[in-house]
Structure 1
Amino acid sequence: MTQILEGAQSEPVNSALGSGQNTSGDLAASAMVYVYGHGPTRNPFYEEAKALNPTAEGASLILSAAVCRGQKLLLISVAGQDPVEAQVVRARTLDAQMFEVEIAFPATRPDFWRPFRRSAKSHGAERRRSPRVGLPRGMTIAWQGTHQNDISRVSSLSLGGLFIEAADPAPAGDTLRVQFDIPGGAVRGQAVVRRSIKGKGMGVEFTELPAGSRAGLNELLQRLLGDVRNLRS
């Protein structure tokens, strides 16, 4: 996986984020959020990430995708609120090649992290919004390694690979045969485990992927990014 730009750890921290204080009253200490963006090679990615110390000004995200300072990301809360744009303030590498990414909103968003309260009007809006965004929240993958196989949930997706949730993941370096479905059809290919986290899952990189499958995957990611941008307009 492409590493964070050197020197990122020494960059100044946004004061609203670096204080570690939750300035929005009733916000939780952490939250889940959908993140859309592009990697260093401009490949699009989608990821469900954990946000730490969320405030009206931003948060710290735990991502498996590498990003750099100044990059723009699109965020959607799992409550289904409208997407917002955020900018990467700082990024640093954590263990197992995960990244802590501090993001800031261009304007304060005190309601973004608050629990979503349903009403007849908002419930209808949520029903309309979900199909448009097309979040692959229930996306699963069948995988087979050297000594084990399973059907697992996908929590992070990019053109170069994905993160598979698994309590007993295959070891780093193992070769997997993978199969999963996207709107354009079934994707079958081969991947290598780049990192393995016991009890959590594994990050895999595609090593063999038919041209048609790669094109379909790219189309899906571009459409997801486009749908999110359309929601903001």
Structure 2
Amino acid sequence: MNWLTDFFGDPAHWSGPDGIPARLLEHLAFSAAALLLAALIALPLGLWIGHTGRGAYFIVATVNVARAIPTLGLLVLFVLLLGTTTVWPVLIPLVALAAPPILVNTYEGVRGVDPDLRDAAYGMGLRGGQVLGRVLVPVALPLILLGLRLSAVQVVATTTVAAYAGLGGLGRFIIDGLATKDYASVAGGAVLVVLFALAVQLLFTLAQRTAVSPGVSRRQRVR
């Protein structure tokens, strides 16, 4: 506890380019960029596969491969290939980590919509894209948001590896603290990452309560 008091009570940790606000913004920037790129890739793909039923084996293969690849190992590989002059050696592993949960949950959400709702939508004269946008996505939204939430929390927790590539973020407190045996910095950095991940979890929980239709929520509770 004294370590945390020493860390958070030091005014030097609250100002300048190495202070907590600056490192937090860097961490947020890396995490948001990785989550956005992963969503741009995985959401359309998951919607298309779930709606058409094509490429389901791609889902399984992607998830299995993603689980087998260590993020830190991938980071080291891209640092060796691309150097440390850009953020891509960090973003690529983070995107690879974030995309599978979004892809799987989007696919499962759309695929799991009651077939009667699909048939009713087509019976009303809606076409494929209209059925997807007006019926399937709203019903699948809880699972889609769950995939985004899981990915966001994983990315926030794993973005600490950016420090290994000489970049910023909250991981700097941990890596630099270990290098200098400043364990107050290590403990403080770890607490900040945990708090950030919890804040992201809460944010997505509130977003789900706001965005999901009450009718859809009631339907899921009945199931």
Is TM > 0.5 for Structure 1 vs Structure 2? no
Of the two structures, which has the highest relative contact order with CA contacts closer than 8 Å and spacing of 6 or more? 2
User: When you count strand as a share of all residues, which structure comes out higher?
Assistant: 1
Shorter-chain TM range is: under 0.3
**Greater Rg by CA:** 2
